[in-house]
Structure 1
Amino acid sequence: MAATQDRVPTVYLKNGLVEGLDPNDPIEISYQKNFEGEPTGKDNPELLTMKWHHGHNNSIVNGIPRIGFMKGGEKAKWSDVDMADHFLEKAQDYVKKHKSVSFFLYYALQQPHVPRTPNSRFVGETDLGPRGDVIVEADWCIGEFLKTLEDEGILENTLIIFSSDNGPVLNDGYYDDAVERIGNHDQNGGLRGGKYSLFEAGTRVPFITYWKGQIEPQKSDALISQLDILASLAELTETEVETRDSKELLDVLMGTSEKGREELVLEASTRTAFRKDNWLMIPPYKGPAVAEQVNIELGNSSEFQLYDLSSDISQKQNLAGSNPDQLVKMIEQYKNIVGDMNSDVEALELK
């Protein structure tokens, strides 16, 4: 994909080239202004099969309004409802072709990112509307992929890492009943915030390692970053890599150690925070406390925030005022790591 599926161009790429493109129908892209005569979600709601809520009201493809403007490339445009099957098939084909040699495969599922477009096989599988249905579809894709590894005889020789890129969000640009149908379910699992947020529901994501016959099922509280996958896989494959930010934590991935990172800089929408053991410090940031369009707390405050996650995982009690010594230590350690990469860091001082 050239971008997320809610953006143009809505085409597949292979080796840097658009698949199925007619040379006589070239693609034009703009994220600033529309092309003359091209319909948009904002001006042509009668053409929509999915209604936009915010930010997704530009070019229309398959009845879905997108971010950005696109002209041309009609034969190359993808089918949204077949996208999960498309990527699954590509991943399965790759495994079948490379099963006799060592390989690394990055298989990125597009679900449940918006626009949520489940295949007809999964429509109505849940009571949560498209968001629930695409989660079931994603689960099915993972199951089918694992079956492929087993059928090809390499499941017991494959380390699988499953994770996500951010925390949960319900309405993320389209009306798809995600908010209306959620009921009493807490998609955050008791955590505060969500996608776009510096609170735990934004930065703490699912992370599962699976290796049949090698990893014993267990839950780990070790602190780890996706950055650490690089150094850890290099250790597994006895490969040397040059990296400043990746930490070798192969024993943690394999479930034989609980000793993960001691500290980590967290990031959400260019803002950063600092985690040290079970302490989390969020510096002051300007901007709204809540992103109204998605109804998510962002972590912005005019004051420092300090939380002890060992006793307050839901981040209900800001300890910055009652524990100034810990706050000072966190600020200094944060400055030592971030340095001049953040122009606001040098201005961080206790009031």
Structure 2
Amino acid sequence: MKKYSYLLPMTIMATVANVYGANRGSDRPNVVFIYADDIGYGDLSCNGATTIHTPHVERLAANGIRFTNAHAAAATSTPSRYAMLTGEYAWRRQGTGIAAGNAGMIIRPERYTMADLFKSVGYTTGVVGKWHLGLGDKQGTQNWNETLTPGVRDLGFDYSYIMAATGDRVPCVFVENDRVDNLDPSDPIEVSYEANFPGEPTGKEHPEMLRMHPSHGHDMTIVNGISRIGYMKGGKKALWKDEKIAETLTEKAIRFIEQQKDKPFFLYLATQDAHVPRVPGEQFAGKSGMGPRGDCLLEFDWTVGQVLDALQRLGLDENTLVILSSDNGPVVDDGYKDQAVELLGNHKPGGIYRGGKYSAYEAGTRVPCIWSWPAQIKSGQVSDALVSQIDWMATLAKVVGADIPQGAAPDSRPQLDAWTGKDKIGRETLVTQNAANNLSLLSGEWKYIRPGGGAAYEYNVNIELGNSKEPQLYNLKQDPQEKHNVATQYPEILKVMSEKLEDIVDGRYGLPLY
């Protein structure tokens, strides 16, 4: 399928890639994203966690730059991934909220993506892991037994091995290059988010069949003794084994790296850890002392170590840019009784910050983030610069010498000096969104949360959401935990912040605002 008309003609793109390759050759870095799921700023020992030890992440941080003020674009999965891969704030587009398991493609094929950018300069592109951005044309119309079109290849990825949606939603299958992996044609898959299929047990009706019980929701089709969101029938040979998800995805990622070792590649590795349902592999089960959620943090760390070891073994570690981050902030109980709450102890998944996944407060979008590129980034750095995943696209265009077509990645800004540690300030302003699509503006030491609807507290997950009909203003330097709303004390700052946010929302902004 064709991209928008702002794309360069393919012949010109090929010429650009060839000239660039001739001029730069082997100094173009490979790029690997390791994207955690629901792992918070305080979940990793490199950020000060003392109840959990993640040595491989520490190793990555020691070899590069660790960010203390890095943000996902949103406090939930689908919009943060959309923004990261397109360079456009998700709140600008309808239909970019948390995707159902049978959602159609949320990033449309005509959209210019991160993968398109890398392909334009000759990279081989791959995505492995959690997708959660929809497949096929429209919600509920997919034929899971045929090639899914439009699919991930239409977004610029040469290779894909993905979870159809996310771990707690059906269909619980892997999709390789837009076809369900290991599907038996005599046992076709059927999926519904409207009604169950006759004779198929659900967690709500048959709790005796469960090995992990839901705490709220998640009581529909049972797969591997765990009830999910949505209804599914068939595809028994294709079903993933929850204990093997991390192992399978890590193996696929390393195989991609091995196969592409002699030419530049971009790999987006999106882990399931530590999203629910949390079913760590045998070697991690019971090892953290914090239940399955803590064990999945160890499993995530293992994945990071496996990737770093593979790069080193293949001689690629010096000139590979490895980026580690998370799609949003943490959540402890997100739908299953897995003892995450009971065994949390003194561990603080969001670090010192208020809120968590779904929230407008800092723990919703302030996430772990590391950039490591030994050939170009000085090791052992820590940066307090305000940075955002939405800028990865424009920044990486500078890294690899790509030109972003006019009209693409409208909210992404080149911030290479900040991402490499030379600029200690980063963005002047940054917009984030919470699960209710209420927006916040960060600028220097100030944070403004726009008034909006929605509950102030989500009792199922025990998280403050930050929704309020009153404006909120916090000085993050003096009050990083956002305990004191000073909107009435600083009306002039409130006015400037609110006007800046409205300028950005309305599109009346330019580079000086950033």
TM-score by length of structure 1 reads: 0.95
Task: Determine if the alignment matches structure 1 residue 223 to structure 2 residue 223.
Answer: no
Aligned equivalents of 1:85 and 1:277: distance in 2?
41
Offset at 1:98? 0.5
1:118 aligned to 2:284?
no
Q: Which residue of the other structure, out of 189, 208, 230, is the alignment partner of 1:68?
A: 230
Alpha carbons 2:438, 2:450 under 8 Å: kept: no
- Cα deviation, residue 277, structure 1: 2.0
1:347 aligns with none
Deviation at 1:244, TM superposition (A): 1.3
The unaligned stretches of length 5 or more in structure 1 are 342-351
State whether structure 2 residue 393 is matched by structure 1 residue 234. no
Matched AA of 1:221: D
- Give the residue type in structure 1 aligned to 2:337: Y
Equivalent positions of 1:53-92 (< 5 A) are 53-92=215-254
1:301 aligned to 2:468?
A: yes
Alignment partners' CA distance in 2, 1:196 and 1:55: 17
More displaced stretch, 206-215 vs 323-332: 206-215
1:280 aligns with 2:447: yes
Matched, 1:255 2:421: yes
What's the CA shift string for 1:164-185, capped at 9, x where partnerless?
0111110011001110011122
Q: Which residue of 2 aligns with 1:246?
A: 412
Distance 2:451 2:422 in 1: 38
2:504 matched residue in structure 1: 337
Matches of 2:316 and 2:182, distance apart in 1: 33
After superposition, the C-alpha distances for 1:279-311 in whole angstroms (9 at most, x for unaligned) are 111122222211000000000112110011111
- 2:204 equivalent to 1:42: yes
| 2:439 counterpart SS class | strand
Q: Distance in 1 between matches of 2:425 and 2:259?
A: 37
Tell me what 2:68 maps to: none
Paired letter, 1:205: V
In 1: Cα distance, 2:232 partner to 2:384 partner: 45
**SS in structure 2 at match of 1:219:** strand
- Structure 1: 4+ residue segments shifted above 3 A: none
SS in 2 for 1:105: strand
Question: 2 CA distance for matches of 1:121 and 1:208?
Answer: 26
Take 2:268 and 2:453, find their aligned partners in 1: how far apart are those partners?
Answer: 36
What SS class does the counterpart of residue 495 from structure 2 fall into?
A: helix
- Shift of the alpha carbon at 1:254? 1.6
Partner of 1:208: 370
CA distance in 2, matches of 1:64, 1:96: 34
Residue 193 (structure 1) aligned with residue 351 (structure 2): no
User: Which shows bigger deviation, 265-274 or 161-170?
Assistant: 265-274
Q: Quote how far apart the aligned CAs of 1:256 are.
A: 2.1
CA shift digits 1:199-241 (9 cap, x unpaired): 0000111111012253221111111111111111110111101
Match of 1:94 in 2: 256
- Provide the rounded CA distance (Å) in 2 between the counterparts of 1:251 and 1:81: 41
Residues 150-174 of structure 1: CA deviation (Å, up to 9, x unaligned)? 0000000100100001111100110
CA distance in 1, matches of 2:390, 2:217: 30
| Residue 55 of structure 1: how far off its partner (Å) | 1.6
Asked if the contact 2:438/2:451 (under 8 Å) is kept, the reply is no
1:44: how far off? 0.5
User: 1:188 & 1:24 partners in 2: Cα distance?
Assistant: 47
Number of residue pairs the alignment of both structures matches: 341
- Note the C-alpha offset of 1:339: 2.0
Does residue 327 of structure 1 match 2:494?
Answer: yes
Identity of aligned residues (%): 50
* TM-score with structure 2 setting the length: 0.65
What is the identity, as a one-letter code, of the residue corresponding to 1:227? I
- 2:179 aligns with 17
1:27 maps onto 2:194 in alignment: no
